[in-house]
Structure 1
Amino acid sequence: MRDRGRGLGAGPTRGGGQGKTYRVEHTLTREDGEVAATVSYVSGLLDLRARKLVADPARVWAEHARDPALLGLAPRPA
């Protein structure tokens, strides 16, 4: 099976607070291209020191990703 993730969909989700959560969607396909499953969930990024969700998870992911576009995020500023 192949996974065609749709990225982080940065920004607030419905009922998800002030932008601290985001929706992730993955579409799993068979070798012949037929969709086998679609998995969608709400996630957040936890600051382990503060023990709270980070206010802007898209910014944090973009800072740490080698290629933010793969996550559906804008490229890092130069």
Structure 2
Amino acid sequence: MSRYFSNATDKVLKVDFLRVFNEEGLIRSEHMFNMMMIYIISTFILSSPPNNSHIPKDHFLCVESGQYSTYPWGNL
């Protein structure tokens, strides 16, 4: 999270995440899968308007650790 969002401590504004995600060549190839998973989680599973919402640091940590695959997303 800190690599792409240096000012973020406990959350990232969704609009900032989308800006980084959509900028070609900004995300390193070894981080692309994790960023794609965060995109899917924040855009489809836990959808909210990008201008009024944020992505918690916990979601980044969940994806980085691999726990996203067993996390009970349907129970949120």
TM-score category (smaller protein): under 0.3
Structure richer in strand, relative to its length: 1
Q: Which has the larger radius of gyration?
A: 1
Higher relative CO (Cα under 8 Å, sequence separation at least 6) belongs to: 2
TM-score, length of structure 2 as denominator length: 0.28
Structure richer in helix, relative to its length: 2
